[in-house]
Amino acid sequence: MEQTKALDALEPFLALSKSAVHPRAAADLITQATSAPNTYVFAELLQQPHIQALASNEQFASYLNLLRIFSYGTYQSYQTDAASLPALNEAQVLKLRQLTLLTLARDQSNLSYDALQKELQLSLARELEELVITVIYAGLVHATLDPARQVVQVTSVAPLRDLSPGSIPGMITALNNWSERCTSTLSDLEAQIQSIRAAAAVCEKEKRVAEKKMQALVGDARESEKKDLPGGDALPRRGINKRSMVDAANPAHDEMMDLDDPSAAEEQKKRSSKRKM
């Protein structure tokens, strides 16, 4: 979103650059673009033919160099070559310091007040804090000030700096290295997945074998129980023997059986008569 705003802010200057045929007009256009609010990217303006033509003009070539610093340089870059560059107005000083802060904020390892003041050439901590606040309000960074520890804590930085010449090969190398690490990591993950799947298959096979063994043991146990039970022909004999034992233990039963026989009944009467006598 911030990048879109910055490109929209640069659009009028791109249109004007098409008619900036005279070197003075092109130089003035650079001063206006780098002083305007909300202009933070300048790569497209830097590529315009009339702006590039300043490189061959001894009088105004320094304006092209100034635009390059605003595009991808820092405040220190300007100070190093200040003698050969156009003087900055107040708006340009603020803009270049803001852009420098964007670059410095990408390296969160050293965002102490002392380090930032040195890079931005600010003598007072209050000046640094005011600069950081302007960048925060502009939506260029998300950060908080920590006066107690004298550090700036940055959580995110808007992509509003142009790439310097020669940075693309380095970025490609870094991306290739990152890609190789990702490929290696994915290969390791794939190998681990295959190992897990193989272990799961072995466990499943062992489980099936164990289940078959258990089923076989249960079947053997049932067969053994059937063999221990008496056969069908043993049941009647067991019943007869039991009845015989009951009859032997019950004489009354024998008497009842004898009463059914006539001779036995007569004999029984004679015995009863003798007992009465």
Whole-angstrom CA distances from 96 to 103, 236, 256 are: 11, 117, 135
Q: pLDDT at position 233, please?
A: 47
The H or E element containing residue 145 is strand 141-146
**pLDDT grade for 270, boundaries at 50, 70 and 90:** low
The label of the residue with tokens 């925060």 reads 136
**Residue 122: what residue type?**
L
Do 143 and 154 form a contact (C-beta atoms < 8 A)?
Answer: yes
121: left (phi over 0), alpha (psi -120 to 50) or beta: left
pLDDT at 169 over 80: no
The answer to whether the beta carbons of residues 119 and 76 sit under 8 Å apart is yes
* Neighbour-count burial for 185-212, b at 16+ CB within 10 Å, e otherwise: eeeeeeeeeeeeeeeeeeeeeeeeeeee
Q: Would you state the pLDDT for residue 66?
A: 97
* Cα distance between residue 130 and residue 138, in whole Å: 12
Give the model confidence (pLDDT) of 199-250 as tens digits.
898 888 888 888 888 888 888 778 777 776 665 444 444 444 445 444 444 5
Residue pair 33/95 in contact (Cβ under 8 Å)? The answer is no
Give the pLDDT confidence of 42-73 residue by residue, as tens digits: 999 999 999 999 999 999 999 999 999 999 99
| Model confidence pLDDT, tens digit, residues 226-238 | 776 665 444 444 4
pLDDT at 264: 54
28 exposure class (CB count in 10 Å sphere: 0-12, 13-18, 19+):
middle
Percent of the chain with pLDDT strictly greater than 90: 50
pLDDT exceeds 60 at position 126: yes
